[in-house]
Structure 1
């Protein structure tokens, strides 16, 4: 299992604490220090069933100059390029389980999808 985190993010800290409590082994990727490539982002989005604008944080999107960029197939590449160039735009934490299940773990229900059922 891999979790993309920003250590300053309370949701990321809560997710890693839940993984620790569940005894789950995982790898931490500090995605601001080790940004995902455009290809990695596209693969994560495919597993999530989402588009790039769906995982963009509104405030950071505006600051990165994407606020007026259309959210459509014709602009998908521009969104992917922007996410790769500005990883702080990403919603977090993003967890990919060993079976390929990928979630944005911003709430307990989402996180439960990758925790062992006890």
Structure 2
């Protein structure tokens, strides 16, 4: 089943959701600010994306700049930060099978459908 980690307040995330809606395929919406992923779920997302935790962080968020920027953090510490402050997680993330994309721009979502 296709899954989208979605933030309804984010325009880019809404655009990614629209691509899924227009595809006619079934999918699951995870509002990750309300249903914060576990560390294990984040690890699986990172595996599907084939990126490091730091590459999934929204580094322009104030909470990142105020608390983490410039610090040498382990992957575990970055995962902990994303769980503590889920708005740090890039969005939208769309997973289909063992593959995933960060849907920025939204047309990247089409690549894994």
**TM-score, normalising length from structure 1?**
0.86
Q: Which structure dedicates a bigger proportion of its chain to strand?
A: 2
CA deviation after TM superposition for structure 1 residue 40, in Å: 0.7
- Where has structure 1 moved over 3 Å in runs of 4 or more? none
- When the two structures are aligned, how many residues end up with a matched partner? 110
Residue number in structure 1 paired with 2:108: 110
Matches within 5 A, 1:15-54: 15-54=16-55
Structure 1: give runs of 5+ residues left out of the alignment: none
Q: Where do 5+ consecutive residues of structure 2 fail to align? A: none
Residue 90 of structure 1 aligns with which residue?
89
- Aligned-pair CA distance for 1:80: 1.0
2:72 paired residue among 56, 70, 73:
70
Q: Structure 2 length as normaliser, TM-score?
A: 0.89
CA contact (8 A) 2:12 2:106 kept: no
